[in-house]
Structure 1
Amino acid sequence: MKKTILSLLSVFILFTSFTIAHKFYVSVTNINYSEKTDALQITSRIFIDDLEALLQERYEITAGLGTKEESELADTYIEKYLKAKFVLELNEEGVSYDYIGKKYDNDVVIFYLELPNVGFEGLKSIGIQNDVLSDLYEEQKNLVHIKWKGKKKSFVLIRENNKGMLNL
C-alpha cells in the first residue's frame, strides 16, 4: 500500500513539475429575447489578445485594442469579421443584425449586437453558426447561451461542429 501511494505521488510530482501554463481559447455569447423591444440582444465576450492576433493575421492591422493608440479601423474590421463568422438564422433563413459597439473589461472585449423586429409570431427556430476565432485557433470553443421566453439552451461550438439550433 505504501509503495502504491509513493508511486502515485512520484508520478504526480513528475507531471506537475513539467506542466506549463495552458492558454484556453474560448468566447462566451449570450442571446436574449427582449419582449419589450421585440429584439434579440446579443453580447459576446472574447479575450483581447486573441482578437488582436486575429486582426493582425487576417487584416494586417495593429489594433491596439483598449489603448489610447487603438486603430480607427478596429471597429470596421471587427464588425466585418463578426458578420462573416457569427451568423444568425430565424426559421432557417439568414438574418442581418446590427453591430452596436464594444467595451473593455480587463482582458476581455464585450461586443453588443442586436437583431431588431424579430416578430415572435410564426417563429419556429433560432439557429447560430459561430466560427469566431476558430480560423486562427484550432482549440477555440465558442459557448452560446440562448434565452427565449423561458426557454434556455446552451451550445459548445467548435471548428468541426459550429452550429446550434433552438426549436421554439
Structure 2
Amino acid sequence: MGVLLYKWLIAASILWHPFYVSVTEIEHDKSDNELHVSCRIFADDLESALKKQSKGSLDIIHPANRAATDSLIAGYLRKHLFVTADGKTIRLQYLGYKIEEEAAWCFLSAEKVPAFKSAHVRNNVLYDEHPNQINMIHVIVNGVRKSTKLDNPKADADFSF
C-alpha cells in the first residue's frame, strides 16, 4: 500500500508542477548549403510572451490576423535566438509556424551557409517568462548531432564538429 501511495504522489506532483522546456534543432543541409531551424515551444507560453511584447490580445492557435501573429513571432525569435557559425553571424529568416498539440513549431532558415566546424547558439527563449525555463539545443552538421541543455539564466552554448 505504501508503494502505491508513493507512486501516486510522484505522479500527482509531476502533473501539478508545470515544467517549461523548448527544443531547438539546427540542421545544416550540405546539399544546398542551408541551415534549417525548428523551435518547439509550448504554445501557451509563447502566446503569453507575445502578449507582453505586443501589449494586446492574441490567440496564436486561431489568429485573427495570421500575418500580424507571424510578425510578432518573428520579432520575438529575432531577439531571443542567435546562431554563429565559424565566427560568422547567421541571419535567420523566419518562415512561419504551425500548432501541433500543445506546441508551436516555429521554422527558420538561412541560405548560403557552408558546412561549419564550430557553432555558437544563444537561446534565451521564454527566460523572461519562467525562471526555471530549460532550452534544449540540437545542432546537426554532416550527420553528426550534438546536443546540450540550457537552464535559465544560461543562454549560450558552443558546439564543435
Q: 1:17 to 1:131 in 2, by over 3 A?
A: closer
Aligned mate of 2:97, from 88, 99, 102: 102
Q: 2:24, 2:64 → 1: CA distance?
A: 27
For normalisation by structure 2, the TM-score amounts to 0.87
Q: Which residue of 2 aligns with 1:143?
A: 136
Partner letter of residue 167 of structure 1? S
Q: 1:90 to 1:13 in 2, by over 3 A?
A: closer
1:26 corresponds in structure 2 to: 21
Question: Residues 12, 132 of structure 1: CA spacing in aligned structure 2 closer, same or farther, 3 A cutoff?
Answer: same
Q: Secondary structure at the match of 2:109?
A: strand
Aligned to 1:93: 88
In structure 2, the partner of 1:73 is 68
Report deviation, 1:49.
Answer: 0.5
Identify the residue that residue 44 of structure 1 maps to in structure 2. 39
- Residue identity in the other structure for 1:63: L
Q: 1:72–1:99: structure 2 CA closer, same or farther, 3 Å change rule?
A: closer
| Unaligned segments of structure 2, at least 5 residues | none
CA contact (8 A) 1:55 1:62 kept: no
- Structure 1 position 14, deviation (Å): 9.8
Q: Cα RMSD (Å) of the superposition?
A: 2.4
1:31-65: CA deviations, max 9, x gaps? Answer: 11111210111111111100111111222122211
Query: What is the CA deviation profile of residues 8-47 of structure 1, one whole-angstrom value per residue up to 9, with x for unaligned ones?
Result: 6598389559846111111111111111210111111111
Residue 73 of structure 1 aligns to a residue in which SS? helix
Aligned residues: 160
**Partner residue in 1 for 2:6:** 12
Alignment of 1:127-166 (within 5 A): 127-166=120-159
Larger Rg: 1
**Partner SS, residue 26 of structure 2:** strand
Unaligned runs of 5+ in 1: 1-5
